[in-house]
Amino acid sequence: AAGMAAPTMEERKACWGARDEFWQCLDSHGDDAAQCERLRRAFESRCPQQWVKHFDKRRDFLKYKKKLETEGYHPPEAAGKS
């Protein structure tokens, strides 16, 4: 079960590096994943599957948090407008 072994420091660095490059690409292309396909594949091949899922969730959370900070919280418009 080699796949289950904890990544070595080298592997972690490779994973984080690939993630950072992928995220930078997304940032510079307005989150257009199609523009970053190659980096996405590198990210997926260098990181354990669980990490990929974790980082994807983390990115969504960070984007959401940033949106709140820049735009503030807007409750849904529909509530109580009848």
Q: Tens digit of pLDDT for each residue in 44-82?
A: 999 999 999 999 999 999 999 998 998 887 777 765 655
Q: How far apart are the first and last CA of the chain?
A: 59
pLDDT tens column, 3-31: 557 789 999 999 999 999 999 999 999 99
Structure confidence at residue 79 (pLDDT): 58
Structural domains of the chain, count: 1
Domain assignment present for residue 60? The answer is yes
- Which region holds residue 47: left if phi is over 0, alpha if psi is between -120 and 50, else beta? beta
Which candidate, 42, 50, 3, 48, places its Cα nearest to that of 20? 42
State the Cα–Cα distance between residues 13 and 32, nearest whole angstrom.
25
Domain assignment present for residue 6? The answer is no
Domain boundaries, position 24? 12-67
State the Cα–Cα distance between residues 15 and 45, nearest whole angstrom.
8
Is the pLDDT at 40 greater than 90? The verdict is yes
30: its two tokens: 């307005």
